[in-house]
Amino acid sequence: MARYKLLIEYDGRGFVGWQRQENGFGVQQAIEEAIEKFCGEKTIVFGAGRTDSGVHALGQVAHINLSKETKADTVRDALNFHLKAVPVVVLEATEVKDGFDARLSARDRAYEYRITNRRAPLTVGQGLSWWVPVPLDAEAMDAAAKVLIGKHDFTTFRAAYCQALSPVKTLDMLRVSRDGETIKVETRARSYMHHQVRNIVGTLKLVGEGKWTAADVKAALDKKDRAAAGPTAPAAGLYFVEVLY
């Protein structure tokens, strides 16, 4: 039995998310079907983290077990051949030891949220960014983001149906920057709650519009009440960027 680590990129549009589900087509299912077409084996693809419907990945990591040892490059190329019909590619395949686990071995996960801040609507960028036509102050958003860095009870930014055992999480990094009409919200943490990043972005947008201040964000955090925060940002702007081991 050989274990392979896969580095995966995908466009989340058209998928119900990472996980195989009964109500639609998941990225995990697409890869599992490609594996079966490649070598005839039915196996589970274990991902480093789940992404919701419409969320993209530039650096999702997964591991698979195959009964027959094969060159890692062959695994990569064969899977990509059978994934041609869907917007999923395996960037790298690496043979790893049995003790490696894409989820449990992860030390940090990095996400990036992209906002297109311009008056004109999106064309080629539809589904790949959150279009915000009103001017946003990225520097004010970055200053407000700093109050959320560190270990906190993030109940305020937790989805109502989140299944995390605890709302206490540690954000190792959260920063906002602008490059032309693109605003990026970058974050890194060991783990997240459902919609945590999107709820944070929706709140920081209020700061960017001048409706909230950093003090308002801190007050919302302290209330430990989802109703105290801003709206959930759309899935289209969120990217799973990297997993650190």
And the tokens for 98?
């049995």
Which one of the listed residues 52, 108, 153, 172 is annotated catalytic?
Answer: 52
CA-wise closest residue to 236 among 129, 110, 88, 87: 129
Go through 208-220 and write b for each residue having 16 or more CB atoms within 10 A of its CB, e for each that does not.
Answer: bbeebebebbeeb
Q: What 3-state class would DSSP assign to 126?
A: coil
CA-wise closest residue to 159 among 125, 195, 185, 127: 195
Q: Which residues contact 71 (CB under 8 A, 6 or more apart)?
A: none
Q: How far apart are CA 218 and CA 148, in angstroms?
A: 7
Q: Is 137 a catalytic residue?
A: no
Q: Which residues contact 229 (CB under 8 A, 6 or more apart)?
A: 156, 157, 199, 202, 203, 220
Helices 138-145 + 214-223 axis angle, to 10: 40
Cα torsion through 9, 15, 16, 18, rounded to 10: -20
| Cα 192 to the center of its chain, rounded Å | 10
CA-wise closest residue to 224 among 121, 154, 131, 161: 154
Catalytic positions, written as ranges: 52
